[in-house]
Chain A
């Protein structure tokens, strides 16, 4: 619904998670090089192009501190979206329950339902801890979480860094989840697409590296988010052979292989950055630094306009409490959550778009989050300049 807005050039689009910055030039060059090799325009290995799974295994062996077999422990998919689908189709079925943390990336619910299983929601809750508005203020209640686990619980979906909140789960928070997974023999589907985008003072911890978790966790990553190439639609699942083999079966019966030239180009880009993982210029870190300053700029603009942003510790989204503006939308006829109405009003009257947070909530929780909207800040300077102009004028117009 909201992606149609992206087509309208008069609107400053901070809604959909679409970078408008350019991918690094070497990434584009590698694609051009790959396309020039005849063989690379034909089918490659179904479960992942050999040079790509090798590169992924090297990068993640370093990150995880454990051996990862490129052929048995990795599956390359059509985006992280495809990894989520393959994982859920492979391991989830009718009779299963799957725990989903709210707010959640909106595809989790329909995918779980398509697999015939029951989504069980648990919201992040704001811990009343003074005035700071940081994504770290939103936490799971351990007792509430424990209550959601039962003998039917097949998996929990974890997303860290978190979309839309920007929360980066701490080791302690992950340990709480891990303990429950082990106790109830539950799988963990860990969506870590924003793994490189963590800001100062935060560290991305992989739940699969906690004791007892490797054997029950599928960790999902994304080229689109790593290299600002969402249109390449390449992602991967990493995990133990006895789980990945089932994802591979789904993959061989759904699309069989992913595009070859894109995989080759991604492999080469990963090698370039793998070799400089000790260097601050590595794109995994430099992108994060670039985004941190955009985050800070965005937060400041929003605050100056009288809005209340929740500063994200990671990712490239920021949620904002718009209730502080007290925009009266009660006369708007449709029975929709406040944030939906607010975003529509904002698009119409301010020419600025965002995504309403209730889009990321299950039915019971929509009310809880309806005063929040989500902005995407992986935008080039001119886009942020245009957003600044709108936000600076905001109060003048509503007065």
Chain B
């Protein structure tokens, strides 16, 4: 009889899925598929967001100095919440930018890329029953991370307010509707995720737009997770404004930054959070129970990079001045290339991404009615396989229910060498010629 009851409970156990329920709805990931496609087919990869030029020499030199120096202890564990030289310089640097005295030990925490910073925020601050407002289009990991924390994502779209005829659309033309945004706040709203400059559109939220969000956060006592990884990549003299510097916001905001984007070294996976201790203490708890320490050598090198930038702040030699200048030029080349062939670019105010309307090329990829897959995704896959040009469909950055709202746009990354952008231009030109050939 005992054996029989054991085998019944065993059967029950074996019929349950082996994985935890927190993974539900989080297993799909666009990057796994598109990165593989780019690796297999692309001749010119403007898809995944990483530079194809190297990090600056001063940073590479710092890295080599750190790993080969007399102090071989840089190959061992450092302080779990952030290598002391790095948190000290980050506290100094961001304290200066925010006009605030920051304590490196309690107001700064280093993470494995901004990605892990986001993870710590959601795990630490979001609970079952909490709602988290996400502005569409959004960096795709926000949604599964909210779900994994048992929260409920609530989406609010940026809506295109088309400019006067003939003008190219700018990312500034994509705006939140204030009444619509206000309607998304409820007593269950725990946090809003802000990403400015915004990936994928390149939108740089204006002071007025940030104040709108800030007022609602204060009114409803909501936290703000502010993903500012592209903070240095703003063009045309625009200013990146930190929402944490607005009234009532420091105490309820976690700012997220990235060495990968700041110093063109995405493969180093060094990120950070800056915020009040009352929030960071909970991030530290998550961090110490998930990753604990971050790799030491890269932290040492990034610290030296920031030291240099602190000394050169605002000067023409500063990497934070040079990089946006170079990228603005690249942006303009790509805008030109796309416009010339009839793909309508949305001029980004920031980031190294650009979204373009591919409606004029729809004839190449016939619509499949009732298809599960959004049109732009099928288009992007066809394009990489047949033209060797990799880009990411905009629907990747929308929630499931809204993936078909803007399904004729694709996102290009222009943090690429001039030769790469020229090669992209060649592909586009050839493609256009093929279309116009009788």
Residues of A within 8 A of B (CB): 3, 16, 18-20, 22-23, 28, 31-32, 35-36, 38-46, 78-79, 81-82, 85, 89-93, 107, 110-111, 114-115, 151, 184-185, 187, 228-234, 242-243, 246, 249-250, 252-262
User: Residue on B with the closest CB to A81?
Assistant: B292
Known: A85-B289, A91-B18, A111-B289. A151 touches B269 (CB 8 A): no
B74 adjacent to chain A (CB < 8 Å): yes
B274 adjacent to chain A (CB < 8 Å): no
| Interfacial residues of chain B within 164-206, with CB under 8 A of chain A in the complex | none
Indicate if the CB atoms of A43 and B266 lie closer than 8 Å.
yes
Task: Select one of A20, A42, A229, A246 contacting B50, CB under 8 A.
Answer: A42
Indicate if the CB atoms of B76 and A18 lie closer than 8 Å.
yes
Indicate if the CB atoms of A93 and B21 lie closer than 8 Å.
yes
Chain B residues closer than 8 Å to A259, beta-carbon distance: 112, 267-269, 295, 298
Kindly specify which of B61-69, B318-326, B331-339 makes contact with the partner chain: B61-69
Task: Select one of A78, A115, A253, A257 contacting B294, CB under 8 A.
Answer: A78
Contact with A along B4-18 (1 / 0, CB 8 A): 001001101110001
Indicate if the CB atoms of B75 and A249 lie closer than 8 Å.
no
B59 shortest CB reach to chain A, Å: 9
In the bound complex, what is the Cα–Cα distance between A111 and B20 (angstroms)?
14
User: Residue on A with the closest CB to B417?
Assistant: A38
In the bound complex, what is the Cα–Cα distance between A36 and B60 (angstroms)?
8
Given A79-B293, A249-B26, A253-B141, list of 18 further CB < 8 A pairs?
A3-B80, A31-B67, A41-B55, A42-B50, A43-B50, A46-B32, A78-B112, A81-B291, A90-B19, A151-B10, A185-B13, A231-B78, A246-B19, A249-B29, A254-B119, A256-B113, A259-B268, A260-B268
B343 adjacent to chain A (CB < 8 Å): no
A10 shortest CB reach to chain B, Å: 17
Task: Select one of B26, B260, B266 contacting A253, CB under 8 A.
Answer: B26
Task: Select one of B32, B266, B269 contacting A252, CB under 8 A.
Answer: B32
Chain B residues closer than 8 Å to A44, beta-carbon distance: 267
B365 adjacent to chain A (CB < 8 Å): no
User: Residue on B with the closest CB to A84?
Assistant: B290
Indicate if the CB atoms of A43 and B267 lie closer than 8 Å.
yes
Chain B residues closer than 8 Å to A39, beta-carbon distance: 52
B424 shortest CB reach to chain A, Å: 18
Known: A18-B77, A43-B267, A261-B268. A256 touches B291 (CB 8 A): no
A64 shortest CB reach to chain B, Å: 21
B223 adjacent to chain A (CB < 8 Å): no
- Closest 3 A-B residue pairs measured CB to CB? A260-B267, A231-B296, A151-B9
Could you list 8 examples of A-B contacts with CB < 8 Å?
A: A3-B80, A42-B267, A78-B294, A79-B293, A93-B22, A185-B14, A230-B77, A262-B295
B115 adjacent to chain A (CB < 8 Å): yes
User: Residue on B with the closest CB to A151?
Assistant: B9
Chain B residues closer than 8 Å to A258, beta-carbon distance: 112, 269
Indicate if the CB atoms of A250 and B23 lie closer than 8 Å.
yes
Indicate if the CB atoms of B291 and A78 lie closer than 8 Å.
yes
B73 adjacent to chain A (CB < 8 Å): yes
Indicate if the CB atoms of A255 and B31 lie closer than 8 Å.
no
Task: Select one of A185, A233, A255, A256 contacting B10, CB under 8 A.
Answer: A185
Known: A42-B50, A151-B10. A249 touches B27 (CB 8 A): yes
B310 adjacent to chain A (CB < 8 Å): no
B54 adjacent to chain A (CB < 8 Å): yes
Chain A residues closer than 8 Å to B52, beta-carbon distance: 38-39, 42
Indicate if the CB atoms of B68 and A28 lie closer than 8 Å.
yes
B280 shortest CB reach to chain A, Å: 18
In the bound complex, what is the Cα–Cα distance between A115 and B116 (angstroms)?
18
Chain A residues closer than 8 Å to B12, beta-carbon distance: 151
In the bound complex, what is the Cα–Cα distance between A395 and B323 (angstroms)?
64
Indicate if the CB atoms of A31 and B73 lie closer than 8 Å.
no
In the bound complex, what is the Cα–Cα distance between A18 and B29 (angstroms)?
37
B144 adjacent to chain A (CB < 8 Å): yes
User: Residue on A with the closest CB to B21?
Assistant: A93
Indicate if the CB atoms of B292 and A79 lie closer than 8 Å.
yes
Known: A35-B67, A90-B19. A255 touches B293 (CB 8 A): no
Chain A residues closer than 8 Å to B37, beta-carbon distance: none
